[in-house]
Structure 1
Amino acid sequence: MYMDFKSLLRKLSFTAFLLFYTSALFAQLTRVTGVVTDGGSKKNETMPYVSVGFAGTTIGAPTNSAGRYSITTDKPVKQIKASFVGYKDAFINIKPGISQVVNIRLMPVETELTEVKVKAAKKQKYRNKGNPAVELIRQVIAHRDLNRPEAYNYVEYKEYDKMMFSIANLSDKIANKKFLQKYKFVLENRDSTTVPGKSLLPLYLDEKLSQYYYRKNPEKERTVILGTRTVDYGGSIDKEGITELFKYMYAKVDIYDNSINLMTNNFLSPIANGGPTFYKYFITDTVTTDNGQKLVELSFTPRNLQDMLFEGKIYITLDSNYAVQRAKLGINKNINLNFVKSMGITLEFEQNPDGRYHLSKSTNLADFGVNKNKNGGLFGIRTLVYKNYAVNKPRPDTAYKKGVEDAVVSNEVSHRSELFWQQNRLDTLTTAEAKVYKNIDSLSHMKSFQRTLDIATFLLAGYKSFNWFEVGPSNAFYSFNPIEGLKLRLGGRTTPELSKRYYFETYAAYGFKDEKWKGFLSATYSLNDKSIYKFPQNYIRASFNRDTKIPGAQLRFVQQDNFLLSFKRGENDKYLYNDLYKFDYVHEYENHFSYTLSLNKLTQSPAGSLYFTNNAGRINNLTTAEASLNLRYAPNEQFYQGKIYRVPIPSKYPVISFDYTKGFKDIVGGSYNYQTVHARIDRRTYLSQLGYADAFIEGGKIFGQVPYPLLNIFHANQTYAYDLYSYNLMNFLEFVSDRYVAVNIDQHFMGFFFNKIPLFKKLKWREVASFKAIYGQLSNDNNPNLHPDLYQFPVRSDGTPITYSLGKTPYIEGSIGVENIFKFIRIDLVKRFNYLDHPDVSQFGVRARVKLDF
């Protein structure tokens, strides 16, 4: 039997439409519209964001910016209810089933009460649905892009940036100690007016005045630095690095951003897209400004008090802009934030001629201390003032084009006169702040203070200065390993006191087991008459290094001879003696692009149980001659310059590097012709309330036939410390390849999950997880099984392999862990997922890492 399904479907659809239409006709719809006015105002002013709904139901809506409302229901209702903080609830009878207009006058609550009755009220559960405060914040979010400066075609303004760091509430007992009397001129310079209840002793002050230009199409921005001024404690302290570090902690606060980075952590803005998921909002007041404009005071608090969230108030304009006109942001005392006792941010906005607002002043205060219950500690204040704000005022193209002078602060700009600052400073200095420059200059020239600074430098950085020469680093004076046994090392380097052009560095070391001397010597010449440790670097260097090395070991920001790295797991007796002659030319540009040209001659000799052998027998050493080019681009990179390394300050910007190396045969003893390429991208990604992830992806390839010491030997770690950049359950020399791709992700959740668990919440621990994978292959050209004239992979005495090539399966390891234990310890449980049949490998391991963070 044949059935016409299309005809049946049309009939069913028509029937369903009739049923729906009929039900809609007979439904009793009640629609109420109207205006809510202020009964306590003589002008009967309209009231925005009043909650209006049908009594006894959850159906309702807030009034708009003009005080109008409209609500509809098909339920049997008889009353509507209007409510607003500070006003009496209004109940008005209505006629069900029809459309009607009901205007409402709300009367303010009387301030004088003749009788007070206290009753236990049933606690109402907070929810977003039907909440006028949430409806208001959603309007602010929807208009966020409109209220940013980038909404204009052109923007320009002057910016004054002041960063001050102080000791708070220094005890008089300490200040009056006899040995501190010579520093009395510094200790008595107190400020007790800026922050109520705080006696601030300023020790650091930095000022910067700049002019900012922005153009929307094509988008360009430029900042011209007009003047800078910073206290100077002398050469032992990198004042530029300290400034960048402080300003990284006290980053500029843009409330219109989704996330605000402060104290090295990511805070969610109260007007972020996901704000209603993590915050509770309450309309707590209406405020009238001096010019008669009404604002809504919106209070907010975190749903979870341990999360990286603010609490405070924002004041929102009652016009079509829904702009933030003022903001007060703070943190809850239970927040999972280390060493910060309190923090407060005040944002002030001024009105443009078109009625929109721009940020005019930002003040960020933070109180630091190891013990949050004690009154003393450190106190920092960053103040930003914006003046001469102009919008939609086009300038010539040259105003928006960045030049060399924008990136590097000239000597003139960094040494502006006192008169310049008096005439151009957009804010005022307190009496105590005004004395800081002179006080610190006098302090830095005192011999007793210089000796104290030298001791502190030696303890913290490991170097002891003797004017033009400094000895160190101290953590490498003593170490040990199976090849050298006890190893003593002593070295140092010249300082700019000798010359700003010429630098020399050296060390000598002796192993008492192998009875061999090792050493290093380098000579560096600065081409730009600046310290070779300062950005931008531009120098040439020649060096010679004779020392031991573990194949495949990689250390970043750590000395190879660090005493703590002497402790290793498993078998660790495969070393190389290296003689390295090297010539480098390093050139950095102001836009943070750099290149390095290198010429190397390296002779590697096996030591311990490591050996070089092929079908012709044992080989004593391997010599290579190389020329290499490294390209690196790190936009907006900032760093702190330490004594040994300059440490990058993390940011959202990627770091891209590319390396090319050419090996030459029969040139200065080189044994092989080959080429290698390597590329890598590093980036930190901020994930709002989920913390942040540090990740990199890299790949490399070798062209030509080479023995295994010249292959990619994957970076293994056999210490008990967790290494971010190595494979923590891989053995030294375990894997080699001539082409590979690797990915590494280190995720910090910053307590997002633990903050919901009572015990962990109290301990303020934080979750971490990592994933590392490497996929590589060894071509037939470099397989010693196919080419006996190549060096054979090393094996143990019983013939079991030590070194392998990766197969079709990538090497994978991952970890889960806890950080912030005692505020500075991280412990990971590491799992190795494959290649578990290799000898002396573990599926699991526990690794620790010291990390001090906020």
Structure 2
Amino acid sequence: MLILTHTFIRGINCNLYFRFSFIFMHKILTVLFVLLFVNYSFAGKISGTVSDEKGSPLAYASILIKENGHGTTANQEGRYSLELNTGDYTIVVQYVGYAKQEKKIHVETKSLQLDFQLLPQQLNLNDVVVKSGAEDPAYAIIRHAIKKREEYRTAVDSFTCEAYIKTLLKTRTLPRKILGKTMDSATWKQMGVDSNGKGVIYLSESMTKIAFKKPDKIKLEVISGRESGTAGYGFSFPTFIDFYNNNIEMMGGQVAPRGYVSPIADGALGFYKYHFLGSFFEDGKEINRIEVIPRRKYEPLFSGTIEITEGDWRIYSLDLMLTKESQLELLDTVKIKQIHYPVTPTIWRTKDQVMYFTFKKFGIDAVGNFLNVFNNYNVTPAFKKKFFNNIVVRFDTGVNKKPITYWDSVRPVPLEPEEVKDYKVKDSIFSYQRDSSFTKRYRDSLRRMQGKISLKNVLWNGFTRSNYNPKKWTSIQWQPLLKQVQYNTVEGLVLNTEATLSRAYPKVKRELSFTPHLRYGFSNGHFNAWGTLNYNKRSFWWDNSNAGDESAESFRQNNFSISGGKRVNQFNKDEPISPLYNSVVTLFFNHNYLKIYENYFAQFNYHGSSQAGLKYSVSFLYEDRVPLENTTDFAIIKYDPQKFTPNYPFEKIYQQFIRHQAFIAEVSLEYQPGQQFAQFPRYRVPLGSKYPTFSLDYQKGIDNIFGSDVNFDKWTFAVTDDINLKLAGQFSYRFDIGGFINDKSVFIQDYRHFNGNQIIIASKYLNSFQTAPYYANSTTASFYATGHVEHHFNGLLTNKIPFFKRLNWNLVAGSNAFYVNKNNNYAEIFAGLENILKLFRVDVVGSYLNGNNGQVAVRIGFGGLLGGKVRSN
């Protein structure tokens, strides 16, 4: 449920520029559908404004129809509207901190103006006398609320309701250049910002039906969704925030993986101080207002007010905030307002919820909110057999095809003037672009906008150029030359070139692409050329039948590739050291860790995935493997005692391998049981599971095919998982076992290599050994095992240290090990700090090799809120 919530927030905040770019492109690359009819009902419309005693609007005030429990929420300007059948009603208006107001009305078919002016809640403190040293009465109220917490958290066995969800993101300031990328005026206009960088850049609304059953079964049915300027579904997932839980997860855990302590959690008294502000009466019930104050800064705690009913000790409403002192990452502030109401005499639920957030970084000043209005609660629903299954979110086939008249009839919250303008302008632009996409004039204008190819593009920036022809879509993508330059002791200076030519086939929803690679080594004079032909499943923005399915190909894979030619590979195909890092250590420190060989090859790959979430791949590889020798010892800084090592895994083999041929077949499977999905009209999106991911890989070296000299059978089984322990941090692990069933003829390229690392830059976490040699422990044993564990404390412990708690640097610790036999084993333990500048991680590693003391070393890599994404990508 919250997984997709955090996906959206991550897009907005972790990489805001790319989110902006995505929104801009999304508006060009989708199609808008509109139905030609809608059902109307005869009803009377009431509308009005909600303001305070000075006439200032009360944003998102709650409006409730007392007779049936239905309601709405005012917009940011305090305006609201309701459509009601003829009859008598009582309209109740609430706003946190203000006295509730009721008005009785009679509705006819004509419109009725009904305004409310709320007065600040008059709190009663006359009967409360707090003597010096005595406990504040708020503590007794909170203790009662804590005792009742579990009862109210599990109060209903099941329920259904409807939710209206509106999401808004707008900028107050936007620079022309973000993270080195320049945005021109055309981009700003498409985004919807004015010349000052101010405007709405994302707006969506949706209607969703929600079904829940204990202990954790949930199903969402998205009835309708709308996204400004696109044919997308909008942000259709309610952000349930239940303060009866001990730990409150915000935005799917991305803003803070540890979560936040609820003011009425079981251990809340150890985290918060409370101050009784007074009480008031509504509908004969006394309501206590309590100020919530964190005991310590830089802890995952809220501040603000919470209102608790007297006697039954329920949450009545709350107004709570998170700031940087709450260990809030990336966002500057998050504010949550909730109002609860009785759906039965004994059961209360959240009626409406608003979550505001602000962001101010990199010159971007942005604000946004998520508004959820819940209606039509049923706490005694009857579900059909097997109603709850692995489909937790289902989108109606017409989810994004509702006309504007439909939204005007069902929307419970009136749009703001800027929102009305945003829909009108961006939908018009999108419709024009859609309708013009097949015209030569429009295609010519898009091609001109791409600009000329400059020398800077060729050497440093790279470029992409398309013909924008929907019937024969063709594009070319060029990788910059200078960013692919390498140096090693075999080839000397290495120049690489790479480009991808793509052609779309919309009728079969496929894309054919060809990527040629050229490589030349100036020292050994070897020229290598190879290419890859991909045939992938795709959906295309100009295909009306596929509107809204832009990301389908990401989750319903069915891809083929054929490659061949002459290339250069590392002996370990996992590439334990990158060519860039090797270039640096060779030129400046005289270490040639990169060990490579040439090969003439042909390869076929097939990748697929099933609707059940099983991923599978099959490949066939032929290689004619040719040894290479060092040809240069040039270095910018030379150390006389240092000698470059031979260009083969000298730690394991004592002379260069002989030229040979290999034909290898490989099958891989990956599966995560308990996988849940969002079912879109034409594809599924996996949402994850509480279970680990299992993978199995089997390789067969087959002799006497095309002269193949290899004969072996090798298998690997792995299990991986990330476990969020909330306040205790996050625990991650990977365990592998494997071995050779048959090792009759195995060359060094096909050994089981353990990914070592001998440079200061950290290698892949959870899949390498930070101080192990690259090839010394490679094996053909019948059994071996590896283990990787690490714990991200996410602020635990470091938030007690004055300097670190302000910086949000977090502790990380763990261990890596492999075991083949008593003479071939390795173990290391490490501890470090991550989230340095939100990007970097520094570890101190101590190791043991083959039972003997190894070394103590420092490793620097990417880690933390942003760095973790760099690492994983």
Same fold (TM over 0.5): yes
Distance 1:460 1:331 in 2: 42
User: What does residue 497 of structure 2 align with?
Assistant: 490
Q: Counterpart amino acid of 1:383?
A: L
Whether 1:574 and 2:595 are equivalent positions in the alignment is yes
Whether 1:757 and 2:801 are equivalent positions in the alignment is yes
Q: Counterpart amino acid of 1:757?
A: I
Change (3 A) 1:491 1:459: closer
Give yes or no for contact 1:665–1:671 (8 Å, CA) kept in 2.
yes
Change (3 A) 1:627 1:767: closer
Aligned match of 1:164 in 157, 168, 178?
168
User: Displacement, 1:733?
Assistant: 1.0
Q: Which stretch of structure 1 is more off in the superposition, 517-526 or 356-365?
A: 517-526
Secondary structure of the 1:380 match is strand
Distance 2:256 2:732 in 1: 13
Give yes or no for contact 2:209–2:221 (8 Å, CA) kept in 1.
yes
User: What does residue 862 of structure 2 align with?
Assistant: 849
Q: Residues 76-225 of structure 1: matches in 2 within 5 Å?
A: 87=125, 106=127, 133-148=138-153, 151-169=155-173, 180=185, 201-216=199-214, 220-225=217-222
Aligned match of 2:567 in 547, 550, 557?
547
Whether 1:301 and 2:301 are equivalent positions in the alignment is no
Distance 1:435 1:449 in 2: 29
**CA deviation map 1:165-196 (0-9, x unaligned):** 21125699x9xx998499669666799xxxxx
Change (3 A) 1:86 1:209: closer
User: What does residue 714 of structure 1 align with?
Assistant: 754
User: What does residue 16 of structure 1 align with?
Assistant: none
Secondary structure of the 2:778 match is strand
**CA deviation map 1:769-816 (0-9, x unaligned):** 232122234xxxxxxxxxxxxxxxxxxxxxxxxxxxx637x4122222
Give yes or no for contact 1:593–1:634 (8 Å, CA) kept in 2.
no
Whether 1:525 and 2:546 are equivalent positions in the alignment is no
> Relative contact order (alpha carbons < 8 A, sep ≥ 6): 1 or 2 greater?
2
Give yes or no for contact 1:306–1:336 (8 Å, CA) kept in 2.
yes
User: How many corresponding residue pairs?
Assistant: 669
User: Displacement, 1:726?
Assistant: 1.7
Whether 1:352 and 2:343 are equivalent positions in the alignment is yes
Whether 1:396 and 2:384 are equivalent positions in the alignment is yes
Change (3 A) 1:300 1:730: same
Normalising to structure 2: TM-score of the pair? 0.66
User: Displacement, 1:623?
Assistant: 0.7
Give yes or no for contact 1:625–1:668 (8 Å, CA) kept in 2.
no
Distance 1:759 1:548 in 2: 48
Whether 1:509 and 2:501 are equivalent positions in the alignment is no
Give yes or no for contact 2:486–2:579 (8 Å, CA) kept in 1.
yes
Whether 1:736 and 2:746 are equivalent positions in the alignment is no
User: What does residue 669 of structure 2 align with?
Assistant: 630
Whether 1:381 and 2:394 are equivalent positions in the alignment is no
User: What does residue 745 of structure 1 align with?
Assistant: 789
Q: Counterpart amino acid of 2:165?
A: D
**CA deviation map 1:653-683 (0-9, x unaligned):** 6433232333333334443443333232322
**CA deviation map 1:89-122 (0-9, x unaligned):** xxxxxxxxxxxxxxxxx4679xxxxxxxxxxx99
Give yes or no for contact 1:364–1:383 (8 Å, CA) kept in 2.
yes
Distance 2:321 2:849 in 1: 48
**CA deviation map 1:300-322 (0-9, x unaligned):** 232221122222222223344x3
User: Displacement, 1:830?
Assistant: 2.2
Secondary structure of the 1:755 match is helix
Normalising to structure 1: TM-score of the pair? 0.67
Secondary structure of the 1:717 match is coil
**CA deviation map 1:728-783 (0-9, x unaligned):** 21121122243232222232223332332233334443322232122234xxxxxx
Whether 1:282 and 2:275 are equivalent positions in the alignment is yes
Give yes or no for contact 2:390–2:675 (8 Å, CA) kept in 1.
no
User: Displacement, 1:497?
Assistant: 5.3
* Identity over aligned pairs, percent: 21
Change (3 A) 1:549 1:182: closer
User: Displacement, 1:411?
Assistant: 6.4
**CA deviation map 1:340-382 (0-9, x unaligned):** 22221122323221421122322222111127xx8x6122322
Change (3 A) 1:470 1:815: farther
Aligned match of 2:698 in 660, 676, 690?
660
Give yes or no for contact 1:593–1:635 (8 Å, CA) kept in 2.
no
Secondary structure of the 1:525 match is strand
User: What does residue 789 of structure 1 align with?
Assistant: none
Distance 2:390 2:324 in 1: 43
Give yes or no for contact 1:476–1:562 (8 Å, CA) kept in 2.
no
User: What does residue 730 of structure 2 align with?
Assistant: 692
Secondary structure of the 2:151 match is helix
Distance 2:284 2:460 in 1: 57
Give yes or no for contact 2:579–2:594 (8 Å, CA) kept in 1.
no
Q: What's the RMSD between the two structures over aligned residues?
A: 4.6
User: What does residue 839 of structure 2 align with?
Assistant: 824
Change (3 A) 1:719 1:605: farther
User: What does residue 90 of structure 2 align with?
Assistant: none
Distance 1:304 1:265 in 2: 19
Change (3 A) 1:627 1:328: same
Q: Residues 556-635 of structure 1: matches in 2 within 5 Å?
A: 563=580, 566-568=583-585, 570-608=591-629, 609-610=646-647, 619-633=658-672
Distance 1:232 1:653 in 2: 38
Q: Counterpart amino acid of 2:795?
A: G
Distance 2:758 2:599 in 1: 21
Give yes or no for contact 2:613–2:686 (8 Å, CA) kept in 1.
no
Change (3 A) 1:243 1:394: closer
Distance 1:764 1:370 in 2: 16
Distance 1:453 1:206 in 2: 36
Change (3 A) 1:526 1:573: closer
Distance 2:664 2:199 in 1: 58
Change (3 A) 1:732 1:562: closer
Secondary structure of the 1:436 match is helix
Distance 2:802 2:446 in 1: 53
Distance 2:492 2:703 in 1: 36
Aligned match of 1:769 in 805, 813, 820?
813
Q: Counterpart amino acid of 1:140?
A: A
Give yes or no for contact 1:836–1:843 (8 Å, CA) kept in 2.
no
Distance 2:457 2:427 in 1: 19
Secondary structure of the 2:756 match is coil
Aligned match of 2:302 in 298, 301, 310?
310
User: What does residue 545 of structure 2 align with?
Assistant: none
User: Displacement, 1:203?
Assistant: 0.5
Distance 2:716 2:343 in 1: 52
User: Displacement, 1:253?
Assistant: 2.6
Distance 1:731 1:365 in 2: 51
User: What does residue 327 of structure 1 align with?
Assistant: 318
Q: Counterpart amino acid of 1:849?
A: F
Distance 2:530 2:169 in 1: 40
Give yes or no for contact 1:764–1:820 (8 Å, CA) kept in 2.
yes
User: Displacement, 1:133?
Assistant: 4.1
- Stretches of structure 2 lacking an aligned partner (at least 5 in a row): 1-122, 434-444, 468-473, 541-550, 630-645, 679-684, 868-873
Distance 1:206 1:457 in 2: 36
Distance 2:514 2:183 in 1: 41
User: Displacement, 1:231?
Assistant: 4.7
Give yes or no for contact 1:489–1:509 (8 Å, CA) kept in 2.
yes
Aligned match of 1:416 in 402, 411, 415?
402
Aligned match of 1:226 in 217, 223, 226?
223
Distance 2:339 2:553 in 1: 40
Q: Which has the larger radius of gyration?
A: 1
User: What does residue 815 of structure 1 align with?
Assistant: 830
